[in-house]
Structure 1
Amino acid sequence: MRSLLSFTREIIQNRKLVFQFSINDFKARYAGSFFGVLWAFVNPLVTVLTYWFVFGFGLKAGLTDGKYPFIVFLITGMVPWFFFSDTIMTSTNVFREYSYLVKKVVFNIRILPTTKVLANLYTHLFFILITLIVSAANGFFPTAHTLQLFYYIFCLCAFLTGLTWITSSVQPFFPDVMQIINIFLQTVMWTLPILWSPSAFSPRIVSVLKLNPLFYVVQGYRESFLSEGWFFEHWKMSIYFWVFTLGMLLVGAMIFKRLRPHFSDVL
């Protein structure tokens, strides 16, 4: 708990550095390409359009309840997933990517995973705006429920912070963790209500799938975009999510504290 509180305090104290570092990281990621930061938006858009074409016009799988246009149903679930998957991939490798800073005693490397979360948040906010436009074009306009997006963004950032503290601390000692995460992402996406509606499965199966904390976030995003309900209506899932996330934050802080002194030996 002391490590977690120390983490939080240092991020707050270095908030200006974190913000500036995240902007530089976002720019540097595409600095060597011709179209620059445009690629940050093109790749997810192509993915959405591909799924829309295949499942909306091709397969006609019937996994949604037909209550909403498929493009609206799809994009409201894909937006949080893009943020999660991009952040976990970029943050896990952060200490190896910035190994020259890790070896500097004067630099506080604790903030590095957080800068990656923030750098991916910029693209995420853009896609939230696109989703609001697409939803409005299909007759689903923002309401008071839409304000819940701020809450669910905070949920996802907190969850990612704890998870990336773990993965980024382990990666220098076990590089194969990146391959494991790739497999993890390919598998987990299909267990989340992104391309399917919970009403398409039995309550028993859905109750098992809800054990994944991301289920709570993805469903919360969709309910916020489509004004389906308030987060406090799912108070049991809210408690479960925050207990799980707090536990992961504590574990992440502990793992970083134990492994930090040995980073320079393996990088």
Structure 2
Amino acid sequence: MSVLYLFKDLMDYIRDLYANRKLIRKFSINDFKSRYAGSFLGIMWAFIQPTVNIAVYWFVFGVGLKSPPTGGVPFILYLITGIIVWFFFSECFVNGTNCFREYSYLVKKVTFNIKILPTVKIISSLYTHIFFICFAIVMLLIYGHSLTPHFLQIGYYLFCLIVFLTGLTWITASLQPFFTDILQFINVGMQVLFWGTPIVVPVETYPEKLLWIMKLNPLYYIVQGYRESFFGTGWFWEHPVMTAYFWGFSFVLLLVGIAVYRRLRPHFADVL
């Protein structure tokens, strides 16, 4: 399968997203609501659990271990501006991986374009993420920081994260019907990835020899980009090497995702 053929498939997918934008929006809202249907607090759990996690990390590292300010920024702000990226990533990764099995009744319908399902999961998680971006802004203002024009690039880094997740979930969602243990591997791998991303521990504390390895992690680019956007410390074009690496990596991931999906799609109905 040639790269040009895969690139054409990618363009077709983008056109499908635009053509089905209303369906994606409706599906994502229903998906978000159904995730907490039947529970007493309903969709409030989407906000309660991440908030409690933030409080626990802040208490352990900020209060217990007395983590000092990083670059003049209080630890709580450093934590929040990084961990909200992780919340969005981890939720999309797990839910996106399971989307074909969860919507198996749609997978078996020949007329339904199931290629949009990973995107539905990403948009569904986006509602919570936007809330926590607003939460981070409020915390910034409470601590006496003001937003700068750099904050406008938060949209760019969010787009980066969505593109990265799209390629990643195409691969894992396509494999999941055949390898049900993949979610277990993902959960284990994400524990390693969490501590391999500068979310809780400041970048300055990592040895220089280890830092270049961390920079191979695409999430490093996004997490640091979020912080630069919130704190007004830099623009994305000031990191040309990292930017080129991220987009090269993400583009290859998209092409691999399309290839894996195209190869396995005809067999989904047999195993779901």
> TM-score, normalised to structure 1's length?
0.97
Letter in 2 for 1:164: T
The residue that corresponds to 1:120 in the other structure is 125
Q: What is the aligned partner in structure 2 of residue 53 from structure 1?
A: 59
- Residue 47 of structure 2, aligned match among 9, 28, 41: 41
Deviations 1:22-74 (A, max 9, x none): 11111111112111100000000000000000000112356x63621111010
| 1:196 to partner: Cα distance | 1.7
Instruction: Please report how far the alpha carbon of residue 200 of structure 1 lies from its aligned counterpart in structure 2 after TM superposition.
Output: 1.4
Q: Deviations over 1:92-115 (max 9, x none)?
A: 000000000100111111110100
Match of 2:3 in 1: none
| Structure 2 Cα separation of the partners of residues 141 and 30 of structure 1 | 35
Segment of structure 1 superposing worse, 75-84 or 196-205: 196-205
User: Any conservation in 2 of the 1:11–1:111 contact (CA below 8 Å)?
Assistant: yes
Q: Is the 8 A contact 1:194 1:218 kept in 2?
A: yes
Any conservation in 2 of the 1:146–1:225 contact (CA below 8 Å)?
Answer: yes
CA distance in 2: counterparts of 1:18 and 1:65, whole angstroms: 40
Please list every run of 5 or more consecutive structure 1 residues that lacks an aligned counterpart in the other structure: none
Instruction: Give the Cα separation in 1 of the matches to 2:207 and 2:61.
Output: 21
Q: CA deviation at 1:201?
A: 2.2
2:70–2:78 CA contact under 8 A, matched in 1: no
How far apart are the structure 2 equivalents of 1:84 and 1:12? Answer: 23
Structure 2 distance, partners of 1:158, 1:54, is: 33
Q: Is the Cα contact below 8 Å between 1:76 and 1:131 reproduced in 2?
A: yes
Q: Kindly indicate whether the alpha-carbon contact (under 8 Å) linking 1:65 and 1:200 is maintained by their aligned counterparts in 2.
A: no
1:204 and 2:226 equivalent? no
Give me the whole-angstrom Cα distance separating, in 1, the residues matched to 2:55 and 2:223. 19
SS at match of 1:249: helix
- Report whether the alignment pairs 1:29 with 2:6: no
Please tell me whether the aligned partners of residues 77 and 222 of structure 1 are also in contact (alpha carbons under 8 angstroms).
Answer: yes
Q: CA–CA distance in 1 between the matches of 2:135 and 2:50?
A: 12
TM-score, with normalisation over the residues of structure 2? Answer: 0.95
- Which aligned pairs between 1:90-105 and structure 2 lie closer than 5 A? 90-105=95-110
Q: What is the number of residues matched between the two proteins?
A: 266
**Equivalents in 2 of 1:81, 1:255: separation in Å?**
26
The whole-number CA distance in structure 2 between the counterparts of 1:250 and 1:12 is: 19
Q: Is the 8 A contact 1:88 1:164 kept in 2?
A: yes
- Aligned match of 2:172: 167
Q: Is the 8 A contact 1:3 1:254 kept in 2?
A: no
Query: Which of 1, 6, 9 is the aligned partner of 1:3?
Result: 9
State the AA in 1 paired with 2:11. Answer: L
2:114 is matched with which residue? 109
Partner of 2:257: 252
State how far apart, in whole Å, the 1-side matches of 2:175 and 2:12 are. 20
Distance, in Å, in 1 between the alignment partners of 2:207 and 2:174 is 39
> Residue type matched to 1:72 in 2?
L
Residue 17 (structure 1) aligned with residue 42 (structure 2): no
Q: Which runs of 5+ in 2 are unaligned?
A: 1-6
